[in-house]
């Protein structure tokens, strides 16, 4: 159980494949109440990526998470009332430094006698290895006088964010297809982005805060509700303790699809993360 982010469940291992399972509902994972889409709590896409990195790190604890690749968000995990979803995270080491991960769930049927409802939520690949400390290469920006990020949390109207997700502080939009923002640990937590430094993988709150900048740009560009679709690749360099500056740029727009690149760095100008090919789709 965690008040701020997802955790893996009980593990079973067979033939090189690890499977983590646990029940998830709004009581065991109250942060879900802070991410409501069209009136129902929804498991955030960035948190699915967080679970992928957790599973890979648990499988290969001697290595560090270097990045993700070919992540596909298949179907949203929605929560109705207090009914639980039985989450299943399956990890398999394709190579020594590569772990493929799939996330699915099952739910009890609405009426007795019917089969359980099964859904696939995401799949992707996690790259593992030895992280090399990133050198300072970015110039920290001054956000004094910039717009309050709260305005972006109110977009779109169909999605409501609570305190767990309120990481953004200030933003600027230097061009139509660009967005700059500064984000901090939700609630300006003294423990930083990761409650427990021994926790495996990457903190979902940090992934969510960075990718939310691109998500917000997608909404601003089209003035429509969008939902995550794919993430071509992501490089993960460091987990900072404090504020992170983020730059999102829209690289393509076609029909109802938009694609973004996102880069983030810490207060010393050291790279935190780089995401390529983050695609969103407009809700019909």
Q: Identify the residue whose tokens are 């942060």.
A: 31
Return the number of other C-beta atoms located less than 10 Å from residue 137's C-beta.
9
pLDDT in tens, 8-43: 999 998 888 999 999 999 999 999 999 999 889 999
**Residue 157 predicted with pLDDT over 90:** no
**Residue 1 predicted with pLDDT over 50:** no
pLDDT at residue 3 in the model: 57
Record the pTM: 0.94
The alpha carbons of the chain give a radius of gyration, in whole angstroms, of 18
Which positions ≥6 away from 278 have C-beta within 8 Å? 211, 214, 228, 230, 231, 232, 259, 260, 261, 262
Mean pLDDT over each residue of the chain, to the nearest integer: 92
Return the number of other C-beta atoms located less than 10 Å from residue 35's C-beta.
22
Question: What CA–CA distance (Å, rounded) separates 96 from 166?
Answer: 37
**Residue 2 predicted with pLDDT over 60:** no
Tell me which long-range contacts 27-30 makes (C-beta under 8 A, separation of at least 24): 27/82, 28/1, 28/84, 29/1, 29/2, 30/3
CATH superfamily, domain at 10-129: Hotdog Thioesterase (3.10.129.10)
> What is the mean predicted confidence (pLDDT) over 149-158?
90
Highest mean pLDDT among 80-84, 90-94, 106-110: 90-94
Question: What CA–CA distance (Å, rounded) separates 212 from 208?
Answer: 6
How many Cα atoms occupy the beta-carbon half-sphere of 211 within 13 Å?
Answer: 31
pLDDT at residue 90 in the model: 97
Domains 10-129 and 147-282 alike in fold: yes
pLDDT at residue 271 in the model: 95
> What is the mean predicted confidence (pLDDT) over 93-112?
89
- The percent of the chain in helix, strand and coil, each rounded to the nearest 5, is 15, 45, 35
How confident is residue 284, by pLDDT bands cut at 50, 70 and 90? confident
Question: What CA–CA distance (Å, rounded) separates 23 from 219?
Answer: 32
Tokens read off for 11 = 């593990």
Tokens read off for 35 = 């991410």
How confident is residue 118, by pLDDT bands cut at 50, 70 and 90? very high
pLDDT at residue 122 in the model: 98
> What is the mean predicted confidence (pLDDT) over 230-256?
96
Question: What CA–CA distance (Å, rounded) separates 26 from 214?
Answer: 27
CATH class (in words) of the domain with range 147-282: alpha beta
pLDDT in tens, 249-266: 999 999 999 999 999 999
Tell me which long-range contacts 130-134 makes (C-beta under 8 A, separation of at least 24): 130/63, 130/64, 131/64, 131/66, 131/237, 131/238, 133/238, 133/270, 134/237, 134/238, 134/270, 134/271
Question: What CA–CA distance (Å, rounded) separates 5 from 29?
Answer: 7
> What is the mean predicted confidence (pLDDT) over 97-119?
88
Confirm if 149 and 170 have CB atoms less than 8 A apart.
Answer: yes
> What is the mean predicted confidence (pLDDT) over 170-179?
97
**Residue 278 predicted with pLDDT over 90:** yes
> What is the mean predicted confidence (pLDDT) over 77-93?
91
Domain ranges of the chain: 10-129, 147-282
**Residue 94 predicted with pLDDT over 90:** no
> What is the mean predicted confidence (pLDDT) over 209-219?
96
């Amino acid at each position: 159980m965690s008040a701020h982010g997802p955790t893996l469940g009980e593990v079973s291992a067979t033939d090189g494949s690890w499977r983590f399972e646990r029940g998830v509902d709004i009581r065991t994972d109250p942060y879900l109440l802070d991410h409501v889409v069209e009136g129902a709590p929804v498991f955030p896409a960035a948190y699915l990526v967080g679970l992928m990195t957790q599973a890979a790190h648990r499988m290969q604890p001697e290595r560090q998470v270097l990045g993700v690749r070919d992540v596909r968000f298949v179907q949203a995990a929605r929560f109705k009332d207090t009914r639980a979803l039985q989450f299943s995270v399956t990890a398999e080491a394709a190579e020594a430094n590569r772990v493929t991960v799939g996330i699915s769930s099952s739910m009890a049927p609405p009426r007795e006698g019917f089969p359980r409802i099964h859904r696939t939520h995401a799949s992707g690949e996690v790259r593992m290895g030895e992280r090399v400390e990133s050198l300072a290469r970015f110039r920290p920006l001054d956000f004094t006088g910039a717009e309050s990020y709260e305005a972006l949390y109110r977009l779109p109207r169909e999605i409501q964010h609570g305190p767990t997700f309120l990481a953004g502080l200030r933003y600027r939009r230097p061009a139509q297809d660009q967005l700059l923002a500064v984000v901090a640990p939700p609630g300006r937590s003294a423990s930083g982005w990761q409650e427990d430094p021994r926790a495996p993988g990457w903190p979902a709150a940090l992934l969510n805060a960075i990718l939310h900048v691109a998500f917000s740009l997608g909404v601003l560009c089209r003035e429509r509700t969008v939902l995550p679709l794919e993430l071509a690749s992501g490089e993960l360099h460091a987990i900072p303790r404090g504020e992170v500056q983020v730059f999102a740029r829209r690289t393509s727009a076609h029909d109802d699809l938009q694609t973004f690149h996102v880069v983030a760095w810490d207060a010393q100008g050291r790279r935190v993360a780089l995401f390529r090919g983050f695609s969103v789709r407009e809700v019909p």
